[in-house]
Amino acid sequence: GEALVQRARLETGLSAARLTGEVARTTGQLRMFAEVLGEGSWHGARIDPAQPDRAPQPRVDIRQRRIPLGPVAVFGASNFPLAFSVLGGDTASALAAGCPVVVKAHEAHLGTSELAARAIRAAIADTGLPEGVFSLLVGAGHDTGTRLVTDPRIQAVGFTGSRRAGRALVRAAAERPVPIPVYAEMSSVNPVVLLPGALAERPEELADAFAESLVLGAGQFCTNPGLVLAVEGDGFDAFAARAAGAIDGNAGGTMLTTGIAESYRRETEAVGARPGVRVLARGAQPDTASAGRSLLMAVDGDDFRADPELQREMFGAASLLIRCRDLKHVTEVLEALEGQLTATVHTADTDLDAARALLPVLERRAGRVLFNGWPTGVEVGHAMVHGGPYPATSDARTTSVGSLAIERFLRPVAYQNVPDALLPPPLQDANPYRIPRRIDGRLDLG
Amino acid sequence: GEALVQRARLETGLSAARLTGEVARTTGQLRMFAEVLGEGSWHGARIDPAQPDRAPQPRVDIRQRRIPLGPVAVFGASNFPLAFSVLGGDTASALAAGCPVVVKAHEAHLGTSELAARAIRAAIADTGLPEGVFSLLVGAGHDTGTRLVTDPRIQAVGFTGSRRAGRALVRAAAERPVPIPVYAEMSSVNPVVLLPGALAERPEELADAFAESLVLGAGQFCTNPGLVLAVEGDGFDAFAARAAGAIDGNAGGTMLTTGIAESYRRETEAVGARPGVRVLARGAQPDTASAGRSLLMAVDGDDFRADPELQREMFGAASLLIRCRDLKHVTEVLEALEGQLTATVHTADTDLDAARALLPVLERRAGRVLFNGWPTGVEVGHAMVHGGPYPATSDARTTSVGSLAIERFLRPVAYQNVPDALLPPPLQDANPYRIPRRIDGRLDLG
C-alpha cells in the first residue's frame, strides 16, 4: 500500500491523503464484489419447471443462468491511478463476472500500474488461480490499444477516458468480424441547477460549496460541476460574485500530465472565445507547465442553447454559469444538453414543485440525479449508477461504479431438459449454493 | 382473432392451425409481461440508505431504479406474422418497459400487420393511453427502415430477420450522431450432436424426430436443425439412411414468399456445390415457384471445418449431416462454429460423461442448450433465452423471447438524497407498490 501510494504520488501529482483514500476505495470495491458473489443473485438463476401435463403441449424444463462473456480488455483512467486503473472498478467487476482481464497500462502512471499488477499476480499465485486470469499490457500510442480491442479473443472492453479515444475504441470494436460490447465512460459536464428558493436562501453557502467541488483535485473528475444553471436576479448575482471571489486568485493545482494541462488550456481558451461567453474569475497564473488555472465563466441561456461547442468537457477546474430568464428557460437549456453522468438540483422547501417538474427532464439526460449535494464523490455501493446517455458513456444500460457493474460482463444461457447431475450448481434442484432464484417468475430467496 | 388468422393464412401460406396457435402465443406473451409488471422486479429497485455517522465521511442516500430507454423501432419477422411481428415479442417487451413503439410492417404480411395494428389502436383507445404509444409504418425497400433507425427520436431497435438486413441496421445505428442499441436476431444453424450411446440405442427414432423437426413449417424457423454432428459407424449409417428415407420424396411446403423460396434454392445450391458435400436425399420436385424442396446433405468433419461457407443458414428444410471420426473431432467441429441460438445434445445413459465435457463448449457458442429434444419450438417463459453470440444475434447479453426481454429497453438511474416525496414510488421508503427491492445489497421481497 505504502509503496503504491508513494509511486502514484510521484507519477500523478495527487496528494498522499487522496491516494491513501483511493487505496481504501480500491480494496473496498474488491470486497464488495466478493460479497456480491457470495450473495448469488449475479447468477441470474431462473427455473421454469416442466409441466408434463400441460395442454395442448407439455412444457419442457427450462433453466437460465448467466455466464462470463470471456476475456475483457480494460483501459484505466488517468485521474484515478488506483480505483479506476489496473485494479479498478472495471477489472474488479470483470474478474467478479469470471472474465480474464487484460489491462492496457495508462502511460501517465506506468510504475503504479506495474506495482498494482504485481499485487494481483501475487494474489493469483496465493489463491492458485490460472496465471492467464490477469495480464498487464504496456505499449505507447493508440496502436497497442486498437490491437488489443481487435484481438479475436477479447470479448468486451471497459474504458474510462476522453471522448475521442472512447469513440475510436467503440468504432474498432464495431468493425470487428465479431463485434463486441464497449463500455466507455467518456465525458460529462454535469449540470447543476440552483432553484430560486435555494438561491434566495443561501447563495453564498452554495457558491462556497460549488467552488470547493470545482477545484477539488484540480477539477480532474468526470463528475466535475462544469455547468451551473440558475434564474437571473439578486440570488444569481450574489452567487456569481461569491463564486468569482473564491476562484479569483485560487492557487489551482498540478494536473496529472502536461498533456492534460495543455488540453485544458486549449479547451478553456476555445470556450472562452465563443460568442456571449464572459470570464467572471481566473485562478492565479500558474508557474509550471503542468499546472491548471481555475476558471469561472458565464453565458446567457440563449447563447448557450445556440452553441453546441459550449457543452464540451474542459476536464479541469473550469465551469460555465448559465443565466436563464425563468424556470421554463432553465428547462429548455436542460433539454438541449447531451447525455450526462450526473444532474444536480439545489432546492429550498419552496422549490419542491419546481424540482418535481424537473425530475423527468433530468432522468432522461443523466445516470444519477442528486439533490442538494455536489456531483464529485461517487459512492461505491449497490445502488450507484456511474453511467448515463451517450456521450457520457457509450452504453447507458449500465454503470461502471457499484455492484451492478458485474452485469456488463455476463450473458444469459438457457438449459432445456438438462439432467440435474449435469446442470451447473446454481440451477440444480437442491439449490446447493442457497442463492436467490426466480421460480416460474417468482423470486425465491433460496 | 378469426379475421387475423384468415388474412395471415392468405398472406403467408401458413396453416390455420399453426396461426391459431400463434394467436395464443401472442396473447399469452402479452399476459406474461402484464404479470412481470405486477411482480415489480423489473424496476430494479435498489436502496443504499444514508449512513450519517460513517467515518471518515458520512454516506449519502442512493437509490436506483430502471427507466424506459425511449421510443423503440421494431422490425418483425416474416415467419411469425403474429408472435414476432406487429404485436410480437419485441413490441410486447418494449411496451412493457414503458417505451413507445414504431413498427415497420413486414412486406410479406401487410394486411395482417394492419389488422394487428388496429387491435392495438383499439386497446390504446379503450385504456386511455396516449395515441403515440404505438405506430405502424408501411414503406417499401430498405430506405424506410434506415430512416426509421436513424431518426433521432428512436432510442433502440428490435429486429428479426436475415443477417444482411440485421447488419445493415446495426451499422446505421452505430453511425448515428448518438448511437443506439440494436437487438437483431439474425441467423443460426443450430447444431445437434448425436452422442454414440444415443445413436447406438435409437438411431431410427432420432432420425424420424429429426426429419419431423427439419420439415416443420417448410423449415422456416430460426431454430431449424441445420447441422447434425455424429461419430461415424453403424449408428451413424442407420440414422443417415432412415433420415434420407424420410426426406426422400417429402412433399415439402409452400414458403412464406417467392423471394424466400428463391433465396432457399440459391443457398442450398451453393452449399451443395462446396467441396466434399454429398446429397443424401431430396424432397419431391416442387410444382410452384414458392415451394421449398427438402434437402439432406452430408459432409466429413474436416471438410466442414475447412469451409466457413458451410455454416451459412439456408433458411428452409435443408440440413447438413457431419461425419466425425470420434468425440474429439466432434468437439473440434463445434469449436469452429459461429455463435448460435441453440445447441442440442442427444444422449443415452452411457453418454453422460461425454455430454458433461461438451457442455462448456456448447454454452460458449449458444444461447440455449437442449438435451434430448429438438430446437424448434421456443417456449415463452421466464427462463427462456432466445439469443446467443454473434452472428446469431447482434447482442448476446439478452433474449428476444421470454420475460427477460424487457431488460433490453431499460436503463438504470440513481437518485442521491432525493426527498421521499419526490422519489418515484418504487423507491419510496414505504414501498407503496410492495415490490422486491435490494436494500444494502440484500433482496427484500417487499
State the 10-residue block means of pLDDT for chain A, 446 residues long. 92 93 95 98 98 93 98 95 95 98 95 96 96 94 92 98 95 96 96 98 98 94 97 98 96 91 95 97 90 96 98 95 98 98 98 98 98 96 98 98 98 98 98 98 95
Per-residue pLDDT, B170: 97
Distance CA(A272)–CA(A259), nearest Å, equals: 20
Determine contact: B444 vs chain A, CB below 8 A. no
Contacts of B413 in chain A (CB under 8 A): 363, 366-369, 385
Put simply, the answer to whether A382 touches B46 (Cβ < 8 Å) is yes
Q: Which residues pair with A52 in a beta bridge?
A: none
Q: Domains in chain B and their CATH numbers?
A: 1-186+395-409 (3.40.605.10), 191-371 (3.40.309.10)
The three grid cell numbers given for residue A173, joined into one nine-digit string: 470494436
Taking phi over 0 as left and psi of -120 to 50 as alpha, with beta for the rest, B178 belongs to beta
Instruction: Find the residue in B nearest to A358 (Cα).
Output: B422
Mutate to test the interface with B, among A385, A404, A420 (most CBs of B within 10 A): A385
Distance CA(A440)–CA(A63), nearest Å, equals: 10
| B269 noted as active-site residue | no
The three grid cell numbers given for residue A320, joined into one nine-digit string: 460555465
Looking only at the bridges linking them, the beta strands covering B46-48 and A227-231 are unpaired
* Mean pLDDT within B410-422: 98
Residue ranges of A 78-137 with Cβ closer than 8 A to chain B = none
Q: pLDDT band at residue B260, thresholds of 50, 70 and 90?
A: very high
Only one residue has cell 434454392, namely B265
Mutate to test the interface with B, among A350, A422, A442 (most CBs of B within 10 A): A422
Q: How many residues can be counted in chain B?
A: 446
In chain B, pLDDT over 70 holds for what percent of residues? Answer: 100
Q: pLDDT band at residue B164, thresholds of 50, 70 and 90?
A: very high
Sheet of strand B318-324, all strands in order from the earlier edge strand to the far edge: A442-444, A437-439, A46-48, A62-68, A410-416, B366-371, B340-346, B191-194, B227-231, B318-324, B295-300, B278-282
Mutate to test the interface with A, among B66, B182, B413, B434 (most CBs of A within 10 A): B413
Contacts of A54 in chain B (CB under 8 A): none
Distance CA(B308)–CA(B10), nearest Å, equals: 37
Residue ranges of A 411-430 with Cβ closer than 8 A to chain B = 411-419, 421-422
Distance CA(A295)–CA(A292), nearest Å, equals: 9
The three-state secondary structure class of B243 is helix
Put simply, the answer to whether B383 touches A36 (Cβ < 8 Å) is no
Distance CA(A203)–CA(A215), nearest Å, equals: 18
Determine contact: A68 vs chain B, CB below 8 A. no
Q: Which residues pair with A59 in a beta bridge?
A: A51
Instruction: Find the residue in A nearest to B381 (Cα).
Output: A48
Output Rg (C-alpha) for chain B, integer angstroms.
24
Only one residue has cell 464495431, namely A174
CA angle B430, B432, B435 (to 5 degrees): 100
Catalytic residue positions of A, numbered? 185, 222
Contacts of B443 in chain A (CB under 8 A): 41, 436, 443, 445
Determine contact: B382 vs chain A, CB below 8 A. yes
Per-residue pLDDT, B1: 80
Q: How many residues can be counted in chain A?
A: 446
Instruction: Find the residue in B nearest to A181 (Cα).
Output: B395
Put simply, the answer to whether A411 touches B404 (Cβ < 8 Å) is no
In chain B, pLDDT over 90 holds for what percent of residues? Answer: 95
Sheet of strand B410-416, all strands in order from the earlier edge strand to the far edge: A278-282, A295-300, A318-324, A227-231, A191-194, A340-346, A366-371, B410-416, B62-68, B46-48, B437-439, B442-444
In chain A, pLDDT over 90 holds for what percent of residues? Answer: 94
Cα of B445 to nearest chain A Cα, Å: 8
Put simply, the answer to whether A412 touches B60 (Cβ < 8 Å) is no
Q: Which residues pair with A411 in a beta bridge?
A: A67
Per-residue pLDDT, B305: 98
Per-residue pLDDT, A289: 87
Catalytic residue among B11, B22, B222, B313: B222
Put simply, the answer to whether A397 touches B383 (Cβ < 8 Å) is no
Distance CA(B136)–CA(A226), nearest Å, equals: 42
Cα of B180 to nearest chain A Cα, Å: 8
Per-residue pLDDT, B141: 77
pTM recorded for the entire structure: 0.97
Put simply, the answer to whether A379 touches B181 (Cβ < 8 Å) is no
Determine contact, residues A339/A315, Cβ cutoff 8 Å. no
Distances in whole angstroms, Cα of residue B81 to Cα of each of A49, B112, B206, B348: 29, 7, 30, 38
Distance CA(A424)–CA(A435), nearest Å, equals: 13
* Mean pLDDT within B17-44: 96
Put simply, the answer to whether A412 touches B397 (Cβ < 8 Å) is yes
The three-state secondary structure class of A402 is coil
Mutate to test the interface with A, among B31, B32, B61, B64 (most CBs of A within 10 A): B64
Per-residue pLDDT, B153: 98
From the list A179, A371, A422, which residue is nearest B355 (CB)? A422
Q: Cβ–Cβ contacts within 10 Å for residue A205, how many?
A: 13
Per-residue pLDDT, B421: 96
Put simply, the answer to whether A179 touches B394 (Cβ < 8 Å) is yes
Average pLDDT across chain B, whole number:
96
Per-residue pLDDT, A1: 80
Q: Which residues 6+ apart lie within 8 Å of A200 measured at CB?
A: A234, A235, A348
Distance CA(B108)–CA(B211), nearest Å, equals: 27
Q: Which residues pair with B113 in a beta bridge?
A: none
Residue ranges of A 388-407 with Cβ closer than 8 A to chain B = 389-391, 394-399, 403-404
